[in-house]
């Protein structure tokens, strides 16, 4: 993950002596925001792709265009018009709506958020934003379920339970009985999946490596849950694509720290409980 060195510094507070007995406090975590390049301009335009020289753009600029339009490379080239930031020099995190820091997550090692209305996702480690990207979630007839989930099993390649001709790469299941997960698949630029969270391949592979699998006690019982995943919000299928509003208001999709905390709060106790169980299990494993 880019420039994430220095995200966490573990340090021990010096112990003091009292009646010649030493006591040592538990390690605490000092969190540091990674350095990011901020764009000088936050305005957007809606441009005809035929009038743009997309081949002249570098990987970073293309990544921004794909994220802003919630598309993959194939659909970007097919589309007549796209939303284009005036300034493409910033880091990707500035073009997607998640806050850079969420203090309520200070003690949570890892978590993934999927925003239905903004069709974007984010990962946090100890409250610091570490990765963002576009997603295409469930279409109107196959809504992606919302709420708290935990990653279950994963597979580099698997076939869809809806159609065995659909190959899903870097698949990570989050709702085993429902067959819902996140994986690589085409991104046309709107919710189009059969309930899953579609991703670009680079993002799917990142999350595949980022999240942890469950541990089963037997075929019917989960012993240790995986990484927490919160899917939230509603998508208006009968309105223009929400990100098109950025043309008139660059903050139209912004998710504040307070808003994310409100979404998180009902689930925080469960998340901490499951993380403690996993920590104890891993400690036992050595």
Q: In this structure, what CATH number is given to the domain that contains residue 275?
A: 2.40.440.10
Residue 2 placed within a domain: no
pLDDT of residue 48: 95
Residue 189 has pLDDT above 60, yes or no: yes
Residue 121 placed within a domain: yes
- Which of the four pLDDT bands, split at 50, 70 and 90, describes residue 179? confident
For the entire predicted model, the pTM comes to 0.89
Residue 1 placed within a domain: no
Residue 24 has pLDDT above 60, yes or no: no
Q: Which residue has the tokens 């390649």?
A: 157
pLDDT of residue 285: 87
Query: What domain count does the chain have?
Result: 1
Residue 42 placed within a domain: yes
Q: What is the arithmetic mean of pLDDT over 204-231? A: 96
Low-confidence winner among 8-22, 41-55, 77-91 (lowest mean pLDDT): 8-22
Domain of residue 131, residue span: 8-285
- Which of the four pLDDT bands, split at 50, 70 and 90, describes residue 165? low
Residue 3 placed within a domain: no
Residue 2 has pLDDT above 50, yes or no: no
Distances from the Cα of 282 to the Cα of 39, 212, 224, angstroms? 42, 12, 10
Residue 60 placed within a domain: yes
Report which of residues 76 and 160 the model is more confident about.
76
Report which of residues 77 and 132 the model is more confident about.
132
Share of the chain above pLDDT 70, in %: 87
């Amino acid at each position: 993950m880019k420039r994430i060195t220095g995200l966490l510094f573990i340090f021990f507070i010096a112990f003091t002596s009292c009646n010649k007995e030493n006591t040592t406090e538990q390690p605490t975590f000092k969190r540091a925001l990674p350095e990011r390049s901020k764009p000088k301009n936050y305005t957007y335009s809606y441009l005809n792709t035929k009038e743009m020289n997309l081949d002249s753009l570098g990987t970073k600029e293309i990544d921004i265009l794909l994220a802003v339009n919630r598309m993959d490379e194939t659909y970007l080239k097919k589309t007549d018009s796209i939303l284009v930031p005036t300034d493409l020099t910033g880091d990707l995190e500035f073009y997607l709506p998640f806050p850079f820091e969420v203090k309520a997550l200070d003690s949570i090692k890892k978590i993934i958020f999927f925003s239905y209305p903004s069709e974007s996702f984010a990962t946090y480690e100890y409250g610091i934003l570490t990765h963002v990207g576009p997603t295409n979630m469930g279409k109107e007839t196959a809504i992606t379920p919302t709420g708290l989930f935990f990653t279950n099993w994963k597979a580099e390649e698997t076939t869809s339970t809806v159609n065995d001709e659909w190959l899903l790469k870097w698949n990570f299941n989050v709702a085993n009985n429902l067959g819902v997960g996140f994986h690589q698949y085409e991104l046309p630029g709107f919710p189009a999946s059969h309930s899953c969270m579609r991703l670009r391949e680079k993002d799917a592979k990142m999350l595949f490596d980022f999240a942890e699998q469950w541990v089963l006690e037997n075929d019917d019982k989960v012993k240790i849950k995986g990484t927490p995943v919160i899917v939230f919000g509603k998508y208006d299928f009968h309105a223009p694509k929400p990100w098109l509003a950025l043309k008139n208001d660059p903050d139209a999709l912004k998710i504040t720290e307070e808003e994310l905390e409100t979404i998180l709060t009902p689930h925080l106790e469960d998340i901490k409980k499951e993380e403690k169980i996993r920590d104890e299990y891993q400690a036992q494993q050595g």
